[in-house]
Amino acid sequence: MAKKETNMKNYEMMIALKPLLPDDVRKALHKEMLDFIKASGGSVTDIDVWGKRYLAFKVKGHDEGYYIVYNFLMSASAVAELKRKLGLKGEILRFMISMVEHPELVGKGIKKKELEAEV
């Protein structure tokens, strides 16, 4: 019998989608990501939609990508399955998943008021 992993860790995932995907396809893919995380016993802590950005170099013939950043809690075995699923999606140009060492610092590195005061 397989041992169920209960050790949840904080992760950050960035995906770059093809830039000209219709909104309904992009929303369906986003919902699929959220559903998979929840079905795997994880939870989403933050989502940041960056939108279209220029790429440093062409990826699969595209100069731009549509970026979405997810912060979530999940077990390591579920992350392995998530990576496998992401690799099969033709709508995704690139993706990266990394473990977050200090999740309490996420989003607090740049403070707009401090930047405005220094300028």
Residue 73 and residue 37 in contact, taking contact as beta carbons nearer than 8 Å: no
Show the tokens assigned to 62.
């595209």
Structurally, at CATH architecture level, domain 8-118 sits in: 2-Layer Sandwich (3.30)
- Residue 79: CB atoms within 10 Å: 19
pLDDT over threshold 80, residue 103: no
For residue 89, pLDDT beyond 70: yes
Tens digits of residue pLDDT in 3-59:
444 688 999 999 999 999 999 999 999 999 999 999 999 999 888 888 899 988 888
Inter-residue contact 75 to 42 (CB < 8 Å): yes
How much is the average pLDDT of 65-89?
A: 91
End-to-end CA distance of the chain: 61
User: In the prediction, which pLDDT does 73 show?
Assistant: 92
Instruction: Identify the CA nearest to 66 among candidates 33, 46, 93, 96.
Output: 93
